[in-house]
Structure 1
Amino acid sequence: MQIDYKQVDKKQLANDIDKIKKTIGKPTIEDFQHLKRVERWGRLFAILGYSIAWIFPLNILGAFLISLGNISRWANVAHPVLHGAYDKVPEIPERYTRKGFAKGWRRIVDWMDWIVPPAWDHEHNKMHHYNLGEDSDPDNIEINMEWLRQSNLPMWLRYIIIIIFAGMWKIVYYAPQTLSMLINAEKRRRGEAEDDSFLRLDAWNPLKSHGFRLWISCFLPYIGFRFVFLPLLFLPLGTDAVLNVLLASLLAEFMANLHSFLVIIPNHAADDIYRFEQSGKGRGEFYLRQIIGTVNYNTGSNKVDFLHGWLNYQIEHHLFPNLPLNHYQEMQPVVKEVCAKHNIPYRQESVFKRLKMTLDLMVGKTNLLVIKHA
């Protein structure tokens, strides 16, 4: 279903979405308790994983459990907290607010990842959310994959490249991409020339300023923590235990990359999703773009939502980015009603079907729909 973009009553759409916002209210201690419960699930998976990671072949199962803890920490905790979803909960600990989460030494316990939290905050919360589907959207898959889409490589090889990429995408793409966007923002404030891309030798060279920052803030802390410190904790059990934990950690990293690729990348990439050649104007057009530039996955219980990282409510998330996790289930039917009222397509399908559609877009078999002008 395509949309008659100009005929949508954007002013009324803005009023309808704003009415939904007013019903949400301020976050409560119950919202925070739900986050804590979800956080415990992720921690439990990680602890169970490491408890058997030193024993071969149980370390293979351990790797899977560790990977669940890894993706949960990012999608289920860091993501909503860094959007400020719980900032206004009465007497909430500062470490669960946007101001305090993963700041300084707390990065180790709050969210130790390849991605630097301030870089994620800038690239995702600002650049992606407020430029969705535009050329300035850093996560515009069609633009980012032009090198492969327009290549002369056979189609089967393009798919293989994407599958390999999915197993390490946070390392080779997302960490350097988010950091590069943050560095450009800093340069812009200083009035300096910005870099076009992180795909430059100096951006990876630890002897250059950009590359040094990538290694010292992204790569070395995570490598040191995940693949050196944690395995060495098992040294009293012998060197075999250390090696088994290292193997489990490497396998868990591969699994976590695949899992995060699965639930993140297809949200805005398929031949039924729109991109926009001009910037939007006003709240109504902004809301419209969040809906038609996004797709949801199957939703349901907390367990289903947990495995999707609550990214299966991506439409609602883009309309209400600072919404606590437990509100998405109740907001979804209301948003659906508004979409039906305005004859706006509300897309929701299996994440695996959407993955196939995304892969087709990435290799150049399909294209995004385009709104050429408002």
Structure 2
Amino acid sequence: MAITDIDRYAHLTEADIEALGREFDAIRRDIEESRGEPDARYIRRAIAVQRTLAAGGRAVLFASNKKPAWIAGTAMLGLAKIIENMELGHNVMHGQWDWMNDPEIHSSSWEWDTTCPSVQWKHSHNFIHHKYTNIVGLDDDVGYGILRVTRDQRWEWWNLGNPIYNFLLGTFFEYGVALHHVETEKVRKGQKSMREVAKDLKIIGRKVGKQAAKDYLIFPALSGPNWKYTITANITANFIRNYWTYAVIFCGHFPDGAEKFTKAEYDNEDQARWYLRQMLGSANFRAGPLMRFMSGNLSHQIEHHLFPDLPSNRYEEIGVRVRELCDKYDLPYTTGSLAHQYLQTFRTIAKLALPNAMLSATTDDAPETASELRFNVREGVQTTFGIDPETGRRRGLRTALRELRDSKVKVA
């Protein structure tokens, strides 16, 4: 089962959690008070880079019948679409730049270059996902309604197609995100009427039509006799954007260490525990400046979930302080290379195509599914936490997880 008692799982006392909450509040306050012209220059430069790449790519594709032009134009357009979706659309619509009071860079007016209508995305993502992050049964991003990513999701025969659904979702990710607001899980359970679904699909259909007209009609027509080559370039650029966006999002939510939670945990949650859930339910991947930019700074998914409306260019700075808090409270900071995080994610998706009876480990102590009960499954594993009166050192979740791994090695 997922985590029901986050205090016990994190090995923190109530006083610890209250103190941790105050420290996160202090980080937010410091960043909000220090926002200024350097941050504004950053986002304006990002917009300029994106628009230059998009315009340049479109221009080069006027000669798309020439292979070098096709490759260069497709690459430029693919990069432009990635930047627009990740660093611009996603972050602007989170309200990260609303403090600038610039109507062009505001969450209320931005419409991004993808098939998902911004009005629906801001509800399903900003409100539902970020409020109920990784709460099984409340957060639709736990499996996107088609994937089984935790043993808390009851196995059904159609879960055998998990790896296939994963491939299709990555390939057509923009359409998967667009359909996310339909809430297929609620439809299957009869909690959402077909009339409501039809209303959602009508809005989605309009946006899909606009995107298709732009990429597969208007710009190809402008390239004259080369229109067929331009269409293939635009299709390829969209696939490039889809796969990259999919990989970044999945690596931030489904590697080992990105924990899941129950509704019971949420019922007793305050702001400090909300912070703690965001930190334990997210994962980062290591990235340099260029990869951070191309991922919309979502290589810092932990920091983004802690502070979704703070400027993305400050996540690296925030990350230093978050790591310090993890050290102070003996908490894990889940990160790794992009390849490592994705391989763990894909292993989970492939493994959970099978019913629990065919899997090793337990529903309380598996790499992708854990609860506070995992610390009771091995003899010799301590369950106490807090400050050790003898050593004066804190014994928190990071130490408890290490002891659990060591106990398993000894048994094996």
Residues 271, 298 of structure 1: CA spacing in aligned structure 2 closer, same or farther, 3 A cutoff? Answer: closer
Report the alpha carbon displacement of residue 33 of structure 1 after superposing the two structures with TM: 1.0
Residues 312, 51 of structure 1: CA spacing in aligned structure 2 closer, same or farther, 3 A cutoff? Answer: same
Deviation string, structure 1 residues 11-57 (Cα, Å, up to 9, x no partner): 11101111212211343222111011122222222223223322332
Give the structure 2 partner of residue 145 of structure 1.
147
Deviation string, structure 1 residues 87-119 (Cα, Å, up to 9, x no partner): 122xx42121122323xxxxxxxx231010011
Deviation string, structure 1 residues 282-307 (Cα, Å, up to 9, x no partner): 11111111111111111332x22112
Deviation string, structure 1 residues 186-238 (Cα, Å, up to 9, x no partner): xxxxxxxx74589x996899xx544433312x321111112111211212xx2
Give the structure 1 partner of residue 177 of structure 2.
174
Which is higher, the Rg of structure 1 or of structure 2? Answer: 2
* Cα distance in 2 between the residues matched to 1:372 and 1:260: 32
| SS class of match (2:99) | coil
Residues 60, 153 of structure 1: CA spacing in aligned structure 2 closer, same or farther, 3 A cutoff? Answer: farther
Is the Cα–Cα contact under 8 Å of residues 115 and 174 in structure 1 kept in the other structure?
A: yes
Report the alpha carbon displacement of residue 144 of structure 1 after superposing the two structures with TM: 4.1
- Aligned with 2:217 (options 223, 228, 245): 228
* Cα distance in 2 between the residues matched to 1:370 and 1:203: 38
- Aligned with 1:76 (options 79, 87, 101): 87
Report the alpha carbon displacement of residue 246 of structure 1 after superposing the two structures with TM: 0.6
- Aligned with 2:276 (options 269, 279, 288): 288
* Cα distance in 2 between the residues matched to 1:141 and 1:261: 13
Give the structure 1 partner of residue 333 of structure 2.
346
Q: State the TM-score, normalized to the length of structure 2.
A: 0.74
Give the structure 2 partner of residue 45 of structure 1.
53
Q: State the TM-score, normalized to the length of structure 1.
A: 0.81
| SS class of match (1:346) | coil
Residues 87, 137 of structure 1: CA spacing in aligned structure 2 closer, same or farther, 3 A cutoff? Answer: same
Is the Cα–Cα contact under 8 Å of residues 149 and 363 in structure 1 kept in the other structure?
A: no
Give the structure 2 partner of residue 189 of structure 1.
none
Report the alpha carbon displacement of residue 368 of structure 1 after superposing the two structures with TM: 2.6
Report the alpha carbon displacement of residue 154 of structure 1 after superposing the two structures with TM: 11
Residues 335, 214 of structure 1: CA spacing in aligned structure 2 closer, same or farther, 3 A cutoff? Answer: same
* Cα distance in 1 between the residues matched to 2:235 and 2:336: 31
Report the alpha carbon displacement of residue 271 of structure 1 after superposing the two structures with TM: 3.0
| Length, aligned pairs only | 341
- Aligned with 2:232 (options 239, 247, 269): 247
Give the structure 2 partner of residue 19 of structure 1.
26
Give the structure 1 partner of residue 342 of structure 2.
355
Structure 1 gaps, min length 5: 103-110, 185-193
- Aligned with 1:31 (options 39, 55, 60): 39
CA RMSD of aligned residues (A): 3.2
* Cα distance in 2 between the residues matched to 1:150 and 1:369: 14
Alignment of 1:130-279 (within 5 A): 130-134=131-135, 135-141=137-143, 144-146=146-148, 150=155, 158-171=162-175, 173-178=176-181, 180=182, 195-196=187-188, 208-216=198-206, 218-235=207-224, 238=225, 241-277=226-262, 278=264, 279=266
Counterpart residue identity of residue 28, structure 2? K
Counterpart residue identity of residue 98, structure 1? S
Tell me, yes or no, if structure 1 residue 310 matches structure 2 residue 297: yes
Give the structure 1 partner of residue 370 of structure 2.
370
Counterpart residue identity of residue 21, structure 2? A
* Cα distance in 2 between the residues matched to 1:209 and 1:41: 36
Tell me, yes or no, if structure 1 residue 125 matches structure 2 residue 126: yes
* Cα distance in 2 between the residues matched to 1:226 and 1:149: 40
Give the structure 2 partner of residue 107 of structure 1.
none
Residues 18, 176 of structure 1: CA spacing in aligned structure 2 closer, same or farther, 3 A cutoff? Answer: same
Residues 37, 203 of structure 1: CA spacing in aligned structure 2 closer, same or farther, 3 A cutoff? Answer: farther
* Cα distance in 2 between the residues matched to 1:196 and 1:265: 24
Deviation string, structure 1 residues 291-334 (Cα, Å, up to 9, x no partner): 11111111332x22112221011111111111112211211111
Residues 70, 339 of structure 1: CA spacing in aligned structure 2 closer, same or farther, 3 A cutoff? Answer: same
| SS class of match (2:321) | helix
* Cα distance in 1 between the residues matched to 2:72 and 2:343: 27
| SS class of match (2:370) | strand
Tell me, yes or no, if structure 1 residue 62 matches structure 2 residue 47: no
| SS class of match (1:288) | helix
Give the structure 2 partner of residue 187 of structure 1.
none
Is the Cα–Cα contact under 8 Å of residues 202 and 210 in structure 1 kept in the other structure?
A: no
